[in-house]
Structure 1
Amino acid sequence: MTKPKYEQIQAELLTRIQNGTYPEGSVIPKELDLAENFNVSRPTVRQAIEALVNAGYLERKRRVGTRVRQTKLAQEFTHVIRNFDSEMAQNGVIAKTTVLYFHEEVANTEVQHALKLEDGAKVYKLLRLRFADDQPVVLVTTYLTRAGLDDFDQIDFANASLYEELDQRGLTITHIERKLEVLAADETTASLLNVDTGAPIFYFHTYGQTKDHQPLEYSIAKYRGDNNYFTISLDR
């Protein structure tokens, strides 16, 4: 039996998505244009598109249109201590980092509490925007205690791994605690991560300690909600 028209259109649109005619993140033609192209009514096209939205291949964005959903990146750092480049390599994508800010400053109350510092203590503040295949994925603000890191401000963290640099100085982070929140993106975060203001963002607060349980790192990582998912492994 011949398939209904909307299923034929659905199959053709899916083929175009899979062969790259409509790349990830691109906006597909408008319903009216597709209706003319396939010589069918607009409701028939809408039915085909809705089926692909429900299947997770397309998404509707206000004031943008219907676009191809991006494949979500698996993040396993909820149960493994691993750097960002390794995570991205496992996903088969190319990682890139842009350093937005890196300076020494006086720790605020939140950072003092997280790193168990006294009033007036100084820390390094490192702000990095991290990409996967040129798409922004996560905005990370990291605070580090100054002890044993006198030369840290000379390192180019656009190309160097933070954890590897700490390892080289005998300051390996061996224990991490993470707290997760899901919040709405503010205007600045939304602009940097290329999402709408108010879009859901995963906020991870990371507390890193050395083997002798000394606090060393406090990070706030803001992950896009639309192109990341997190795996959690539990044993009993």
Structure 2
Amino acid sequence: MTGTRRSKPRYAELGDLLQAAIEKGDHPVGTLLPTELELCERFNVSRHTARAALAQLISAGLVQRRPGAGTRVIAQNAAMRYEQQIDTVDLLMQYGNTARLEVLEAERLIADLAMAQYLDIAEGKDYLRLHCLRLEEHTHAPGAVIEVLIPIRTGVPTERFLDIASTARTLARFLEPGRLSRVEQVFDATAFDAGDAKLLDIRKHEPALRVQRRYRDAQGRLLLITISLHPPGRFAYSMVLSRSHR
């Protein structure tokens, strides 16, 4: 993890190093990895770099984190994964050339313990919550409900985010591809509550495809999280899987 030039962010180097150790059996399944603080001291990295490296292992399906219980190894080899170029961020956010974002609500909130852990911030810190609709460009029909969660840190244009008239433009500028190094995606199933179902003109408890995305900067720091809920028949995601050459 030394040298004058790096082809990867520091957190990705640390994540790869920890993954290699797990695959070698240095950290057997069922054992705990070093804590964030121990990783900071051992590898001379910041707390958010250590946290992002552990998040990389979680995304690979190698470890599981539980509050108060540490980070436990649950598999020796990574699950199948796919990689996507970061310059497709407009597609990932789904409000680029074929859709637009209608911001319904923007608010500043205080993180409880669960939200703080979700956003990689300290309990009691402020964050922004945006509640949005994804509209098709030509028909203006609602295609998805999107929640955006943004930790408030230095450099975050909080007031522009809170001004609903400028929120969508601010979000697009904030996620300019040049500042991003990684987007972590999780797809799962859930159901719509009554409020979101009404926005999409569907029945409550209708099944939903949930897409959670975590956007990170070059240092591995979390910029924001989006949670998109898609009703049946209104969204499809296509990908190509290829063999990874590490």
TM-score (normalizing by structure 2): 0.55
TM-score (normalizing by structure 1): 0.57
Match of 1:195 among 199, 202, 216: 202
1:177 paired to 2:184: yes
Which amino acid is 1:164 matched to? R
Task: Output one character per residue of 1:49-74: Cα deviation in whole Å (capped at 9) or x when no partner.
Answer: xxxxxxxxxxxxxxxxxxxxxxxxxx
1:214 paired to 2:240: no
Q: For 1:167 and 1:205, how far apart are their aligned partners in 2?
A: 19
Match of 1:160 among 169, 172, 193: 169
Residues 90 and 96, structure 2, Cα contact 8 Å, conserved in 1: no
**Following TM superposition, by how much is the alpha carbon of 1:198 offset from its aligned partner in structure 2, in angstroms?**
2.4
Name the CA shift for 1:145/1:87 in 2 (closer, same or farther; >3 Å): closer
Which amino acid is 2:171 matched to? L
Match of 2:145 among 139, 143, 147: 139
**Following TM superposition, by how much is the alpha carbon of 1:160 offset from its aligned partner in structure 2, in angstroms?**
0.9
**Following TM superposition, by how much is the alpha carbon of 1:86 offset from its aligned partner in structure 2, in angstroms?**
8.4
Match of 2:122 among 111, 118, 128: 118
Q: For 2:92 and 2:240, how far apart are their aligned partners in 1?
A: 21
Q: For 2:240 and 2:110, how far apart are their aligned partners in 1?
A: 37
1:129 paired to 2:133: yes
Q: For 1:84 and 1:162, how far apart are their aligned partners in 2?
A: 14
Is there any run of 5+ residues in structure 2 with no aligned partner, and where? 1-82
| Percent of paired sites with the same residue | 16
1:235 paired to 2:235: no
Residues 203 and 223, structure 1, Cα contact 8 Å, conserved in 2: yes
Residues 114 and 207, structure 1, Cα contact 8 Å, conserved in 2: no
User: How many residue pairs were aligned?
Assistant: 154
2:204 match: secondary structure: coil
Name the CA shift for 1:108/1:220 in 2 (closer, same or farther; >3 Å): farther
Q: For 1:203 and 1:86, how far apart are their aligned partners in 2?
A: 13
How well do the aligned residues superpose, as a CA RMSD in angstroms? 2.7
1:120 match: secondary structure: coil
Task: State the structure with more CA Rg.
Answer: 1
Task: Output one character per residue of 1:128-163: Cα deviation in whole Å (capped at 9) or x when no partner.
Answer: 111112111111111112113453322534551514
Which amino acid is 1:187 matched to? A
**Following TM superposition, by how much is the alpha carbon of 1:82 offset from its aligned partner in structure 2, in angstroms?**
1.9
